Structure 1
Amino acid sequence: MASVYSDEYQRVINALKTARKERGITQAQLAEALGKPQSFIAKVESGERRLDVVEFVHLARLVGVEPTNVINSINKN
């Protein structure tokens, strides 16, 4: 199993974080949309908490990223 800090995982998190910021969505707004506390998003973005596949898909769609595009980007390397 890959580490939370693997290059592939970091690319996933960076894609989500970048998309969130580009759309002007705060961590608090994203967390509210997910029904989670703001600390959940902070921990995900800092690598303190790992996303499961369902959480990833929900998060990606909320920030306007197609989940398959992110997955395909890590498969290319």
Structure 2
Amino acid sequence: MEKSVFTREYTALLSLLRETRQAADVTQIELAEKLGQTQSFVSKVERGERRLDVIQLRTICNVLGTSLPAFVGKLEKRLKSKNQTR
């Protein structure tokens, strides 16, 4: 099994996370403040330099106005559609 930060799936997760933040009209700085983190933390997460655990992802989803199940559902749809275009 390859390291997950270098997979197509993890890249899709990071892209969806960034899109979710932008759709919520939240800047990296605003998200960081709501999380009690630095803007650098958010930036590193979105670039894949900092890995998230499931609890951190859930917290970010909640701050952005979505739920972890809704986020994962969107991710699964995105991954399935990419598999079909192969």
* Deviates further, 3-12 or 32-41: 3-12
Aligned length: 77
Paired-residue identity, %: 36
Q: Which runs of 5+ in 2 are unaligned?
A: 81-86
* Deviates further, 64-73 or 39-48: 64-73
* Deviates further, 4-13 or 43-52: 4-13
- Cα distance between partner residues in 2 of 1:6 and 1:70: 18
- Asked whether the equivalents of residues 27 and 38 of structure 1 are also in contact (C-alpha less than 8 Å), the reply is yes
Residues 65, 16 of structure 1: alpha-carbon distance in 2 compared, 3 angstrom cutoff? farther
The residue that corresponds to 1:14 in the other structure is 15
Tell me by how many angstroms 1:71 deviates. Answer: 2.4
Tell me by how many angstroms 1:38 deviates. Answer: 0.6
Residues 11, 70 of structure 1: alpha-carbon distance in 2 compared, 3 angstrom cutoff? farther
- Cα distance between partner residues in 1 of 2:40 and 2:66: 21
* Deviates further, 29-38 or 59-68: 59-68
The residue that corresponds to 2:76 in the other structure is 74
The TM-score with structure 1 as length reference comes to: 0.83
Looking at secondary structure, tell me which structure has more helix per residue: 2
* Deviates further, 49-58 or 62-71: 62-71
* Deviates further, 19-28 or 60-69: 60-69
Report which structure shows greater RCO (CA 8 Å, sep ≥6).
Answer: 1
Task: State whether structure 2 residue 66 is matched by structure 1 residue 62.
Answer: no
Q: Which runs of 5+ in 1 are unaligned?
A: none
- Asked whether the equivalents of residues 16 and 65 of structure 1 are also in contact (C-alpha less than 8 Å), the reply is no
